Amino acid sequence: MHNLDRLFVRRTLGFVRVASISPSLRVADVDYNVEQMTAALREAQKQGVQLAVFPELCITAYSCADLFYQRRLLDAALEGLHRLAEESAWLSMSCILGLPLQVDGRLYNCAALVSAGRIVGVVPKSYLPTTGEFYEQRWFTPGDRSLPPTLELAGQSVPFGTDLLFVGEEMPSCVLGIEICEDLWAVEPPSGRLALAGATLLVNPSASNELLGKADYRRDLVRQQSARCLAAYIYAGAGDGESTTDVVYGGHCLIAENGQLLVESERFQLGTQMIVADVDVERLDHERLKNSAFSQARAASNLRRIPFSLASTEQPAAPLANRPLSRTPFVPADPTRRAEHCREIFNIQTTGLIQRLRHIGARRVTLGISGGLDSTLALLVCVRAFDRLGLDRTGILAITMPGFGTTARTRSNAERLAQELGISLRTIPISASVRQHFHDIGHDENVHDVTYENAQARERTQILMDVANQIGGLVVGTGDLSEAALGWMTFNGDHMSMYHVNAGVPKTLVRYLVSWCADEVFTGAIADILRDIVETPITPELLPLQDGERLAQKTEETIGPYELHDFFLFQVVRHQFAPLKVFFLARQVFADVYDEKTILHWLGVFYRRFFAQQFKRSSMPDGPKVGSVALSPRGDWRMPSDASGALWSAQIDWLTRQLA
């Protein structure tokens, strides 16, 4: 490992490793239960767990019924809590445990946080189910009643109440909020109030029994509450060993983060079950910073913040545990879900264009087609829009403008596609007009610099704009989101249009959209042409061809692989991650494709271009947003064109020195 690996630790990157554990228990056998939980904690330590969550009333078992009145059981439960607290010191781990606790003559269903050898705090259950198979109010008192603020447990003053938040001393953004089982099912779960007050990790020790269809409902509750609270949610359900006199407990454990289920256990298993995941507290912080509804909601001001030791923050963060991380964050891996995404995006693009055409009363459009992916997708959107409006497809005027680098393959595909789709096609070569322009400005045609390339792009845009004026039409743009992020477009050239249908679609997704159109929207010769376009190398075709048809210019050789840049774009814009974390994540998913120096090189290119090319995005034409990442200057991304990227470049440079 390189010496920079020492900085890829949980504290630096914002990850916390958590476990949800459903131990094998015996009803009312505290010694056995503590032994099982101790064994589970030791196994969790081997996996680098920092916080473990056990089920409701796990020290005694949930299904003790009237045995909860037995002094022998209550005393043993308290003794078991102290034993597990001592174990937490030896293991350097924090854990949340369930037990019955007598306070001022009342019995409470409680969850206790133990850490570094001590009991940090105790939270009583707020909502006690007493319907159907549940009758908790027979034994317990709700935690919403007047409570003493502290308890004396073995000579230690311990905070007590439903108003507790637990703050990680080593990672202040890791704030725990505890609710218990039925609390989640309430109309206003306590976790909502806890999240607004700062809790980023919500935990739920539970003893929810199994009924037909209940697991799906439970799963949705956990996932949705994590989304609503912009938090991680760790749910630990009672399982093996609980009494099955009238009901069965499946040991359902779930870990979710901001609406995404990271991992869940298999139910109805014998023995102790444990699931582990790394939750990203830094990501949750960023989500909350950007969410206006969260910032405007009134936070409870009377909650007590109790520090606790979040051990193992200096452990290496790689490899991440049960954390879905895709090389193509814009493209779902599952074919069925990917097809659904493509259908939705295509409909969004089409509907956006329809509304613009209806608003201005246009019945004709122009667009440049090159036989490449972007212009093909824009053309297909136009065709679908015209079909839905009941307009004749001949109102779509596609213009192919061959220049110095146009290949026979791309030109042929463009012309054949236009013919098969039944649209209007004009071919307007630009070589002569560009040469005249070079003569006018005194540019040597043999100097293949930025002037040479951009003159062609601007000539094409001028043709499109002027022809649109001739026919009373609208110029439809063809560039995509990835090109906007990198500024890989000519200012006032292909950067400009009257409506930009691909503005929200990243390059890695464009290819799949065209493929989806070939599979599900079009058939026959059209589908065959689309598939060949998908296989065509990406190039702007601005440099002269070499040895006949050999391309002298391939986009990804110049600016880098789009799969890397789209990955960077998602992490930088969607999650606001710093270069260190983006590089760490890229190493995880691209390790078998690119070496570290290659990844870091293109990451540097991404940041330099992203900052330098903002002026192009600041004057982007209108276009529909299709996903959670968008760069419209009127909506999602408002950034000064002259903002300095020095802070980000400095971290890239530092990483480069570490790899040298």
pTM: 0.92
Task: Give the C-alpha separation, 313 to 17, whole Å.
Answer: 9
Is residue 430 assigned to a domain? yes
Residue 405 belongs to some domain of the structure: yes
CATH code of residue 160? 3.60.110.10
Answer yes or no: 214 catalytic. no
Domain identity same for 448 and 369: yes
486 and 589 in a single domain? The answer is: yes
58 catalytically annotated: no
Residue partners of 618: CB distance under 8 A and separation at least 6: 633, 639, 641
Q: Do 77 and 18 sit in the same domain of this protein?
A: yes
Q: List, in sequence order, every residue forming a beta bridge with 319; answer none if it has no partner.
A: none
User: For residue 540, is the peptide bond before it cis, meaning its omega torsion is within 30 degrees of 0?
Assistant: no
Tell me the DSSP string of 49-65.
-SEEE--TTTTT-GGGG
Measure the CA–CA gap between 254 and 270, rounded to whole angstroms. 17
Q: What is the 3-state secondary structure (H, E, C) of 377-440?
A: HHHHHHHHHHHHHCCCHHHEEEEECCCCCCCHHHHHHHHHHHHHHCCEEEECCCHHHHHHHHHH
Picking from 624, 535, 548, 610, the residue whose alpha carbon sits closest to that of residue 579 is 610
The confidence score (pLDDT) of residue 660 equals: 81
In order along the chain (660 residues), what is the average pLDDT of each group of 10 residues?
67 93 98 98 95 98 97 97 93 95 96 96 96 92 88 91 95 96 95 96 97 96 98 98 96 97 97 97 95 86 91 78 92 94 97 97 95 94 98 97 82 92 96 95 93 93 97 96 95 94 96 95 94 77 54 71 96 96 95 95 97 96 95 93 97 92
Residue 189, in any domain of the structure: yes
Both 148 and 206 in one domain: the answer is yes
Q: Tell me the angle at which helices 524-534 and 373-389 cross, rounded to the nearest 10 degrees.
A: 150
* 395 and 303 together in one domain: no
Q: How many C-beta atoms lie closer than 10 Å to residue 289's C-beta? A: 12
**Same structural domain, 403 and 287:** no
Both 570 and 523 in one domain: the answer is yes
Total Cβ atoms within 10 A of residue 511: 17
Element (H, E) at 116: none
Residues 616 and 528 in one domain: yes
Rg value, the chain, Cα: 30
Q: Are residues 89 and 221 in the same domain?
A: yes
Annotation marks residue 56 as catalytic: yes
Q: Which candidate in 58, 95, 174, 181 is catalytic?
A: 181
290 and 419 part of one domain: no
> Does residue 462 sit within a domain?
yes
Spatial contact of 61 and 26, defined as CB atoms under 8 Å apart: yes
Tell me the residue range of the domain where 81 lies.
9-308
Specify if 464 maps to a domain: yes
Say yes or no: 292 and 368 in one domain.
no
451 and 591 share one domain:
yes
Show the DSSP H helices in 448-506 as ranges: 450-471, 481-486
- The residue annotated as part of the active site, out of 58, 125, 264, 282, is 125
642, part of any domain: yes
CATH code for the domain of 562: 3.40.50.620
> What is the model's pLDDT at position 237?
98
Distance CA 68, CA 75 (A): 11
Residue 390 lies in a domain: yes
Residue 110 near residue 162 (C-beta atoms within 8 A): no
What one-character DSSP code corresponds to residue 321? S
Number of domains in the chain: 2
Q: Is 120 helix (H, G, I), strand (E, B) or coil?
A: strand
With a CB cutoff of 8 Å and minimum separation 6, the contacts of 472 are: 362, 364
Residue showing tokens 């799969």: 563
For residues 237-250, one letter each, b for 16 or more C-beta atoms within 10 angstroms of the residue's C-beta and e for the rest, the string is bbbbbbbeeebebb
Q: Which helix or strand (DSSP H or E) is residue 329 part of?
A: none
- Cβ distance 395 to 367 under 8 Å? no
Q: Look at phi and psi of residue 524 and say left if phi exceeds 0, alpha if psi is from -120 to 50, else beta.
A: left
In this structure, is residue 323 part of a structural domain? no
Between the alpha carbon of residue 333 and those of residues 320, 330, 340, 341, the distances in Å are 19, 10, 12, 11
The 118-124 sheet, strands edge to edge: 118-124, 106-115, 94-103, 51-53, 15-22, 273-280
| Marked catalytic residue, from 56, 453, 483, 563 | 56
Q: Which pLDDT belongs to residue 84?
A: 96
Measure CA of the first residue to CA of the last residue in the chain; give whole Å: 13
Q: Are 251 and 215 in contact (CB under 8 A)?
A: no
